[in-house]
Amino acid sequence: MTGIADSSLRETLRRFDRWRTIATLLDQRPYDEPDFENSRLYFRSDYAAQVAEWSAAREKGDWGAYIIEPCPSGLFSVIRSLWHERAPRRTETIETVFTQLEDAGKYVIARVANSIRFDAGVSSLSIRWSDRDFNSMIKIMPPSDKFLQCFIEKTPGMDADNAHDYYLDQYSLSGRPSTEAVTSSDNRPYMQVLGLSFEELDAELLDGLPLATVPPLPVD
C-alpha cells in the first residue's frame, strides 16, 4: 500500500467518508472510519461501538469489513471479513483482485453504498447493473496466472489445478491494458466500476436515495 499520499487512496477515503455520513442521515448502522492494520486497509461496520464495550470484540466481535490488501505481485485484493451467526470463527473471503488501487476503492464503495441503498428500500444497483450489458470497452477472458495466485494464496483448497472450478473471469478495460480485475461470476455486475469515475459511480449510487440534500465531500 503506497500510503495516504496516493491520490486514488485519498479519493477513496473521501468518498467513503461521505457514505458514512449518508448512512447516519438514514439512521442506518454505523460505518467506522477506515484504518490501516498490518498493511491492510479496513472498511468496517459496527466495529467501534462493540470494541468500546468489549475489547475482545477486535478479534471476536460480529462486525463486518471489506479489506483492501496488497498482493505480493503488486495487485490489490478485496477481502470480505465476517463472523457468521453460530460460526466458530471469523472468515475472510477474497472477492476480487484489481491491478489499480483506485478500482479496488470503487468496488468497496459500490458494495457499501449498495447495502445502504438496500437498507433504505431503494432498488439494488447490482440488479440494475446485471441487466446492463458490458460496453464494448470491457473485455472478458480467462484469468491469468498472476491473478490466480492471489486467489490461491487466500482460498483454502484452491490450487493451480482446480482454480477453473471457481468460475473466475478476468475483466480488462480496452485502451487501458493496465486496468484489469478478476472475480467470480457472482460479482460480475460490480465490474462496471472499471469503466466509471468516482463521480460517475457516486451519481449512480445516489440515484433514488431518500435524501433532502446530498452531503458534500469532505475537503481533501
Cell of 153: 494464496
Residues of the chain with pLDDT > 70: what percent?
A: 96
Residues of the chain with pLDDT > 90: what percent?
A: 74
Question: Is it the case that residue 59 has pLDDT exceeding 90?
Answer: no
The string of pLDDT tens digits covering residues 60-110 is: 888 899 999 999 889 999 999 998 777 678 899 999 999 999 999 999 999
Residues 6+ apart with CB under 8 A from 147: 75, 97, 168, 170, 180, 182
Which has more confidence, 168 or 1?
A: 168
Model pTM score: 0.94
Question: Where are any strands of DSSP class E within the chain?
Answer: 35-37, 40-45, 64-70, 76-82, 91-98, 138-141, 168-173, 176-184
Cell of 16: 467513503
- For residue 172, the cross-strand partners are 139, 180
Question: Is it the case that residue 126 has pLDDT exceeding 60?
Answer: yes
